[in-house]
Amino acid sequence: MLHYRYKEHDVIFTLPLQGKPLYLVGTFSNWQKQAAFKFEKVESGYVLKKSRNDLNKIGNSGYIEYCLWGEDDSQPLPFIKDYPVGYFFNSQSFDCQGNGGCNYLLLPENINQAELEQIGKDSERSLTVKKTSAEFSSEHTLANFRQVTGGDLAAGVLFRSYHPVIPSRSEHPLLSDIEAQRQQTAMRLLEEHHVRTVINLSETSEELTNFLRLAPLSYYKALWSEGQVKHAPMAYETVYFMSDRDESFNADELGFQTGIQTIIRHIASSPGPYHVHCRLGSDRTGVVVAFLQLLMGAGKAEVEQNYLRTNEMAIGEFRSFRLLEQALYRALGEGCFEAGSLEAGSFGGSSVVKDYLLQLGLPCSVIDRACQHLSCNE
């Protein structure tokens, strides 16, 4: 039996439990206990009624995720092990939480059996953790390093990867041993592909300076010393859930609109090849790279294929294309994936992105220069 049912514009959660006060905690509350999501105690258990809009924030699974917490508990209530397949997903947490490592999913009313089966498969796949380099089909997959293609993007001009210098999973019980090798591989591939400009989406200039000042010599540090590591720090929450405005999730970072303008200016004024990274090279990198692909005329299939390859890194996590799709729709509208048609006078996603940048106030000359650099058409 599911925890919830839909009634017109609301979702009603009903739990036949007894005991201490309960909270609904999930993607919609940024995984924090909030008074607005506290259950009401009734004779039969607990009830919580929320509008669909109050809950409309998806997680890495591509769907709304949640779990249940007691008022004074330090971890979620135990996961119900016989909960229907497709209605839960790997929590993608470092540790084994009290919820058995799974979050419940609040799914659309019209979800079908094939979609439920796919959710179950994706959740199972997301549990995979590769702990040695021998388990990978290529060193590029190990480092989440790849060339970005599509539309008018020239070969060998745009790359993306895991962070080459600052570790992200050094404390992970299963990934700490491979972390250094993953970063070293990203660094070597950066040099092999003769990258001239790096776009760092995860650190401010001050943060990176503090780290690199004491770091050993490397290709990345040499680029940094030459002023060729450019900064456009944005948060995971900013690129996925705040892409419709110029508001930053963290005070020392950029809002999405300023961040995108900054990146286009960096590309327009700096030599390629270019390399984009954040920490994992999946979320902030994924959204920015998809934006650049659309700018250069890539189709939806090319954007999706490039984004989903991050799941091959096998770090016990998963990213649904629905997450990226929603972020791009927020910023650009649903027409961003439409194919161009000369007969209809439409130029597809590239035209949509260029219009968006112009509306933000970016000069046409800067946009054109960035496109010339990415297409090597100068």
**Domain segments of the chain: what residues?**
4-126, 133-375
Q: What is the pLDDT of residue 19?
A: 80
Q: What is the spatial distance between Cα 61 and Cα 106, in angstroms, rounded to a whole number?
A: 11
With beta carbons less than 8 A apart as the criterion, state whether 350 and 294 touch: yes
pLDDT at 6 over 70: yes
Nearest to 204 by CA among 240, 160, 248, 237: 248
Superfamily in which the 4-126 domain is placed by CATH: Immunoglobulins (2.60.40.10)
Please give the span between the terminal C-alpha atoms of the chain, in angstroms, as a whole number: 62
Q: What angle do CA 165, 171, 175 make, to 5 degrees?
A: 80
Q: What is the pLDDT of residue 345?
A: 44
pLDDT tens-digit readout, 254-295: 999 999 999 999 999 999 999 999 999 999 999 999 999 999
Q: What share of the chain is helix, strand, coil (3-state, %, to 5)?
A: 40, 15, 45
Q: What is the pTM of this model?
A: 0.94
Q: What is the pLDDT of residue 338?
A: 82
> Averaged over 10-32, what is the pLDDT?
93
Q: What is the pLDDT of residue 343?
A: 45
Q: Which of 65-74, 180-189, 358-367 has the lowest mean pLDDT?
A: 65-74
Superfamily in which the 133-375 domain is placed by CATH: Protein tyrosine phosphatase superfamily (3.90.190.10)
> Averaged over 163-168, what is the pLDDT?
96
Strand order of the β-sheet with 197-200 is 146-147, 158-161, 274-277, 197-200, 229-231
Proportion of the chain above pLDDT 70, given as a percent: 95
Question: Which residue(s) pair with 346 in the sheet?
Answer: 341
The rounded radius of gyration (Å) of the Cα atoms in the chain is: 22
Q: Which of 71-80, 140-149, 282-291, 335-344 has the lowest mean pLDDT?
A: 335-344
Q: What is the pLDDT of residue 341?
A: 42
Confidence of residue 378 (pLDDT cuts 50, 70, 90): low
Nearest to 337 by CA among 291, 289, 276, 284: 291
Q: What is the dihedral of CA 332, 204, 57, 78, to 10 degrees?
A: 160
Nearest to 287 by CA among 312, 255, 321, 314: 321
Instruction: Please tell me whether residue 207 adopts helix, strand or coil conformation.
Output: helix
Q: What is the pLDDT of residue 183?
A: 97
Confidence of residue 1 (pLDDT cuts 50, 70, 90): confident
Q: What is the pLDDT of residue 250?
A: 96
Which ranges of the chain would DSSP assign to H, the alpha helix?
Answer: 52-55, 113-126, 139-142, 176-192, 205-212, 219-225, 236-241, 256-269, 284-295, 300-308, 321-332, 348-359, 364-375
Q: What is the spatial distance between Cα 127 and Cα 137, in angstroms, rounded to a whole number?
A: 18
Structure tokens at 342: 């000369």
Q: Which of 100-109, 127-136, 232-241, 346-355 has the lowest mean pLDDT?
A: 346-355
Q: What is the pLDDT of residue 18?
A: 82
